[in-house]
């Protein structure tokens, strides 16, 4: 399992500890993540938390491109965006992966010859009052991701991850069901990316505020590792890297 560090070049991400609202702070955060063992860092300039206000493409570019450019000299960088113009500018600046919460930019990634993380989401940003209902959340998410993978491959994507979109238009019960179903998703034969770090469903399960959700986040590494998840997207890189190392040593994975 590889670790993707979260660098939010935003003032309004859901956890205050991950808000790096200047280029210098965002770059410093990404550099620390590389030092702590991140395989890559994921730079985003627009929050997609529930109720987030979308930003203009120009503002997102101003936030993202300088950070990507600086960090690309240090290691592998992905850009977390749903905007084609931002994805293209970030790749030009050195990003080699497009992390797309909208599931619509696979054609851009294929054309540019970079990796692509495609995610299932009900709405982006998540509407705070949205309460989607699923007949079978696991079947619906897996079916969507299977179709997304086919479309991405057809458009030339060669390095591909599928993300079930934990927390994006799913309630706590839906999220738990998707996590239990990770082995089936991993059995599709396409690498799976997963983001659970400090998310609100962990607060629903534990009663803890976002500042105190690191233990709950780390607890999910064991089932994710067992299932075969390839890429875990996290705020807390050092703690995640150490936990994975111990789990691998104990289980000989």
Within 10 angstroms of residue 132's Cβ, the number of other Cβ atoms is: 14
Q: How far apart are CA 34 and CA 4, in angstroms?
A: 9
Annotation marks residue 104 as catalytic:
no
3-state secondary structure of 97: strand
Q: How far apart are CA 64 and CA 22, in angstroms?
A: 10
Indicate the Cα dihedral angle 140, 198, 118, 253, nearest 10°. -90
Within 10 angstroms of residue 19's Cβ, the number of other Cβ atoms is: 17
Q: How far apart are CA 145 and CA 142, in angstroms?
A: 5
Q: Which of 76, 82, 198, 199 is catalytic?
A: 199
Q: How far apart are CA 36 and CA 244, in angstroms?
A: 13
CB burial of residue 104 (10 Å; 0-12, 13-18, 19+): middle
Residue 3 phi/psi, 5° resolution? -110, 125
Q: How far apart are CA 106 and CA 18, in angstroms?
A: 27
Annotation marks residue 180 as catalytic:
no
CA 170, 171, 176, 181 torsion-angle sign: negative
Tokens encoding 211: 């500042």
Q: How far apart are CA 9 and CA 13, in angstroms?
A: 9
Catalytic positions: 199, 233
């Amino acid at each position: 399992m590889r670790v993707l560090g979260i660098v939010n070049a935003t003032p309004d991400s859901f956890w205050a500890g991950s808000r790096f609202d200047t280029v210098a702070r965002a770059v410093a955060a990404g550099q620390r993540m590389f030092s702590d063992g991140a395989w890559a860092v994921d730079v985003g300039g627009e929050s997609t938390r529930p109720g987030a206000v979308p930003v203009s493409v120009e503002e997102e570019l101003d936030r993202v491109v300088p950070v990507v450019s600086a960090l690309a000299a240090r290691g592998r960088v992905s850009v977390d965006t749903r905007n084609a113009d931002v994805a293209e500018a970030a790749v030009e600046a050195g990003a080699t992966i497009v992390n797309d919460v909208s599931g619509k930019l696979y054609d851009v990634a294929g054309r540019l010859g970079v990796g692509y993380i495609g995610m299932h989401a009900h709405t982006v940003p998540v509407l705070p009052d949205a309460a989607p209902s699923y007949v079978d959340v696991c079947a619906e998410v897996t079916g969507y991701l299977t179709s997304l993978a086919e479309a991405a491959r057809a458009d030339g994507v060669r390095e591909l991850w599928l993300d079930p979109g934990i927390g994006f238009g799913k309630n706590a019960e839906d999220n738990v069901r998707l996590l239990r179903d990770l082995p089936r998703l991993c059995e599709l034969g396409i690498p799976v990316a997963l983001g659970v770090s400090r998310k609100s469903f962990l607060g629903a399960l534990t009663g803890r505020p976002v500042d105190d959700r690191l233990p709950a986040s780390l607890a999910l590494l064991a089932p994710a590792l067992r299932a075969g998840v390839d890429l875990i997207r996290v705020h807390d890189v050092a703690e995640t890297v150490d936990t994975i190392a111990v789990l691998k040593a104990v289980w000989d994975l």
